Structure 1
Amino acid sequence: MFPMPRLMTAEDVALHICEVKVAGRACKWITAGVFTLCLVGYILHISSHVNVLHSQQLDYEPIDVVAVSLKPSCVTREAIASLNRYLQPRAIHIITTSSDKCSIFSLFADNVVCHLQDKFLDGVTVDLVGDFLQRRLGLDQHKRFKGRDLSGWYMQQFLKLGSVLALPGLSIYYVVWDLDMILLSPVQLVWRDRELPGGGLAGMSASVGQTQTLVNIGGSVAPGYMASFQRLTKHGLEFAPDGTSFVTHWMVIYKPYLLEFLRELSNDGDGPTDWVWRILGAVEPRYADLGFSEYASYISWVRQHYPQSQRLASRKTWVRHPFGQRTVSLLRLLRTDRCCCPNGMLLWLLRLLGLVYTGYEVGHIPECRYDASEHAMSYGL
């Protein structure tokens, strides 16, 4: 015969419940403590990483940033703040459409230098670009595309490439940055020869004084980008090992390479901006909405001429929209003005996920109403 188990008394039940509650509270406290330690560790890691990168930057020439923006917004304000927080550039040159908008941009940071787009490149205005698209390619220059007229979309690419001509005082290495991208953490842009493992890229020996610049991966692929580059250079466009493109919304420029690239695009023409019209002439009309990429073209050209000068990111470190367009559009409901503006919690979560930067392309989300008449001068400010 097996002994009968002792029945639990009311006192036993009460004691068991008490033990469970105490254990539950202890578990919650332990979980909270572990989370707090992880958070503090992450903050200390980021802080030390920032200090290391900033000390590295002090050893070299300062970095400048060039950006083009249709108008000041809550997104561009956050983008500028993030650049100053993590990159600490000497100057952020912003090219926009009016002096009134320049006045607003200049309030965002002391190192903002603003320029007017139609006075930036000699002989190149948005109207002339639009006229070329309409007369030579039979395209509607006022077709809306990604928050701009089609002519404006091409113009902003020419302004970025032409910055090396219009701003001769730029740092030898500088960053072209889309102002709907927000930097989330420090990032190393340049590696000098003493920092390269084994003195250069794997399987290659770097020349004396070799320097590499970061190249991001993970961009979208468009047939128009490939067609125009082939027509301009007689070579195919380059892609990352995973098949993605280099259209990643910012890039590091080395001035001598960009000047050489523009000279080649000019095809030995006499005018300093002949490359603008040659690029437009190479656009395939049926792919005109995405007919040329300044990012894919410059990076591909450098890869084909100076391959040891680039260091590809090992993985994609960015997203175009934090947790999707739907999330961005829904969060606008928390604001009285119903504008799609950067949300601190979303940015924090993206940092925890290890992303380096994120897009906030509100011009691509119809619910954000970026093009509405009441937002003609600014958005979400």
Structure 2
Amino acid sequence: MEHPATPDELAILSQMDFIVPLKQFGLISRAVLEGVYHFYKPRRIILVTSERERHIFHNLVVPYWSVGVIEFVPEETFFLPHLHLTLDQIKAEYDDARGPEQREVGWWLQQLVKLGAASQVEGISEHYVVWDGKSKTPVSNICCHRDHGKGLSMFLFDWLW
């Protein structure tokens, strides 16, 4: 459902961060990141990715893509600030406890990044959006905020699958 952003929504969105966990840059990465910037104009897009991917992105993409302010949080040290765990430690714990039918560690790590963004990303906005960098390509603005008057606001997202 397309919803042109109102000036009030754009003012709110411009103060919000978008957290984008991204294992590896792929064919649609540009469309995802430029779409987020084009439709939502966030304060910043924070990519949680490996140092290797950060290097690729920083050197090959930054001058050419229209993505606004991009910041990087290395996935290798994402859990260090408050949990004092490295990515390798988490992977080892998971592998030790994982049964034969359970998923590989990657999907679970992405969920931990999404859930941990509020405590692990320095200076994160009070309200923020976690956007799937692998498969959610914005093609129009989706309503994310409703003002109910008297200073009451409700943040929401309509998901298109």
Give the alignment's TM-score, normalised by structure 2. Answer: 0.78
Shift of 1:93: 0.3
Q: 1:126 aligns with which of 75, 87, 101?
A: 87
Checking the alignment, whether the CA contact within 8 Å between 1:118 and 1:124 is kept in structure 2 is: no
Other-structure match for 1:72: 25
Q: Which amino acid aligns with 1:57?
A: E
Q: Secondary structure at the match of 2:79?
A: coil
Q: Secondary structure at the match of 2:28?
A: helix
Other-structure match for 1:186: 141
Q: Deviations over 1:178-203 (max 9, x none)?
A: 01211111122122222xxxxxxxxx
Other-structure match for 2:126: 172
Q: 1:151 aligns with which of 98, 105, 109?
A: 105
Shift of 1:131: 1.9
Checking the alignment, whether the CA contact within 8 Å between 1:66 and 1:175 is kept in structure 2 is: yes
Partners of 1:72 and 1:184 lie apart in 2 by 19
Q: Does 1:115 align with 2:73?
A: yes
Shift of 1:78: 0.7
Q: Which amino acid aligns with 1:124?
A: L
Checking the alignment, whether the CA contact within 8 Å between 2:79 and 2:87 is kept in structure 1 is: no
Shift of 1:83: 0.7
The more displaced of 173-182 and 56-65 is 56-65
Shift of 1:105: 2.8
Partners of 2:92 and 2:11 lie apart in 1 by 47
Q: Which amino acid aligns with 1:184?
A: V
Q: Which amino acid aligns with 2:123?
A: G
Shift of 1:126: 3.2
Q: Does 1:55 align with 2:13?
A: no
Partners of 2:10 and 2:28 lie apart in 1 by 29
Partners of 1:59 and 1:113 lie apart in 2 by 21
Structure with more of its chain in helix, by fraction:
1
Q: Does 1:84 align with 2:45?
A: no
Other-structure match for 2:55: 103
Checking the alignment, whether the CA contact within 8 Å between 1:105 and 1:112 is kept in structure 2 is: no
Q: Deviations over 1:224-271 (max 9, x none)?
A: xxxxxxxxxxxxxxxxxxxxxxxxxxxxxxxxxxxxxxxxxxxxxxxx
Alignment RMSD (CA, Å): 2.5
Partners of 1:134 and 1:103 lie apart in 2 by 28
Identity of aligned residues (%): 21
Select the structure with the greater relative contact order (CA < 8 A; seq sep ≥ 6): 2
Q: Which amino acid aligns with 1:65?
A: F
Partners of 1:82 and 1:96 lie apart in 2 by 19
Please give the residue correspondences for 1:30-45 in structure 2 after superposition, counting only pairs within 5 Å.
none
Unpaired stretches in structure 2, ≥5 consecutive residues: none
Q: Secondary structure at the match of 1:212?
A: strand
Q: Which amino acid aligns with 1:210?
A: L
Partners of 1:137 and 1:151 lie apart in 2 by 9
Shift of 1:58: 4.6
Q: Does 1:93 align with 2:63?
A: no
Question: Given the superposition, is the C-alpha separation of residues 138 and 54 from structure 1 closer, same or farther in structure 2, using an over 3 Å criterion?
Answer: same
Partners of 1:59 and 1:110 lie apart in 2 by 16
Partners of 1:168 and 1:190 lie apart in 2 by 24
Q: How many residues align?
A: 149
Please give the residue correspondences for 1:295-310 in structure 2 after superposition, counting only pairs within 5 Å.
none
Unpaired stretches in structure 1, ≥5 consecutive residues: 1-45, 195-207, 217-316, 320-381
Q: Deviations over 1:274-310 (max 9, x none)?
A: xxxxxxxxxxxxxxxxxxxxxxxxxxxxxxxxxxxxx
